[in-house]
Amino acid sequence: MVDPFADNLVISGLNPSATPSLIMGQPDGMTVDFNVGDSMVVEFTDNMLIPSSTTAPDLLIYFPMMSPEQAAMVEISSDNENWIPLGMIPVDFAVSPYPAFSSSSYRALIDIDFANLDPEINYKFVRISDMSILPTSVTQVSPAYSVMPGVMIDAVEANPMHPVNTEEIPEFPTVALPVAAIIGIAFFFQHRKE
């Protein structure tokens, strides 16, 4: 069975005191703590994000309760270079309680069908960027950047029903030569009948 949770930590733009590996695997109540402005990229290796053509969520992000000032941008990519923004958690997506660890645990239910994605492409990278708002009492942004708490993320899950497409398209000679041979044999037998 495919493990639907993030498999690799690709880029960690987190404060050194954070433990980015906590975002790997299934939700367990242990979170990766972002500071304001932090970001990180995770990768799926055995499943991918593709439109499901249903209202079912294709991407789920688990997190504890957020304050009104906290938010994170969610983006996906097929190559870790070209990013497609999906929106902000928690404000842009449906959110449901996930009380496995506490009454304040939630998950964002993200349906990516609206993004007009190519279903033939493996969208396997997810970037989460903290977009929390600094309190108005903070006058110097630079010193505050390294100390202001942002979002906390527990786990990232992709729809396990979409395994990574590993089929290779055969090269032209691999297909053309057998077809040409069959046509040649058919032509030969047709010619002999005449």
Q: Are 77 and 83 in contact (CB under 8 A)?
A: yes
Q: What pLDDT shows up at residue 159?
A: 79
Instruction: Tell me the mean pLDDT in the region 149-175.
Output: 68
- Model confidence over 48-67: pLDDT tens digits? 888 777 888 999 999 999 98
Q: What pLDDT shows up at residue 160?
A: 65
- The yes-or-no verdict on residue 135 having pLDDT over 70 is no
* Residue 194's pLDDT band (cuts 50, 70, 90): low
Model pTM score: 0.76
- The yes-or-no verdict on residue 15 having pLDDT over 60 is yes
Q: What pLDDT shows up at residue 28?
A: 92
Contacts of residue 152, Cβ cutoff 8 Å, sequence gap at least 6 = 31, 32, 33, 34, 63, 64
Higher pLDDT, residue 186 or 183:
183
- The yes-or-no verdict on residue 10 having pLDDT over 80 is yes
- The yes-or-no verdict on residue 99 having pLDDT over 80 is yes
Contacts of residue 61, Cβ cutoff 8 Å, sequence gap at least 6 = 74, 89, 107, 108, 110, 128, 153, 155, 156, 157
- Residues of the chain above pLDDT 90, percent: 44
Q: What pLDDT shows up at residue 2?
A: 74
Question: For residue 146, what are its two tokens?
Answer: 């390294």
Higher pLDDT, residue 177 or 150:
150
Higher pLDDT, residue 163 or 89:
89
Peptide bond before 99: cis, by omega within 30 degrees of 0?
no
Contacts of residue 4, Cβ cutoff 8 Å, sequence gap at least 6 = 47, 157, 158, 159, 160
Distance of CA 55 to the CA centre of its chain: 17
CA distance 71 to 37: 10
Q: What pLDDT shows up at residue 42?
A: 96
Instruction: Tell me the mean pLDDT in the region 131-138.
Output: 69
CA distance 170 to 122: 19
Q: What pLDDT shows up at residue 142?
A: 45
CA dihedral 33, 58, 160, 9 (to 10 degrees): -30
Instruction: Tell me the mean pLDDT in the region 89-108.
Output: 90
- The yes-or-no verdict on residue 95 having pLDDT over 90 is yes
Question: For residue 112, what are its two tokens?
Answer: 């990516």
CA dihedral 88, 92, 97, 100 (to 10 degrees): -30
Query: CB atoms < 10 A from the CB of 44, how many?
Result: 29
Closest CA to 38 of 68, 60, 61, 71: 71
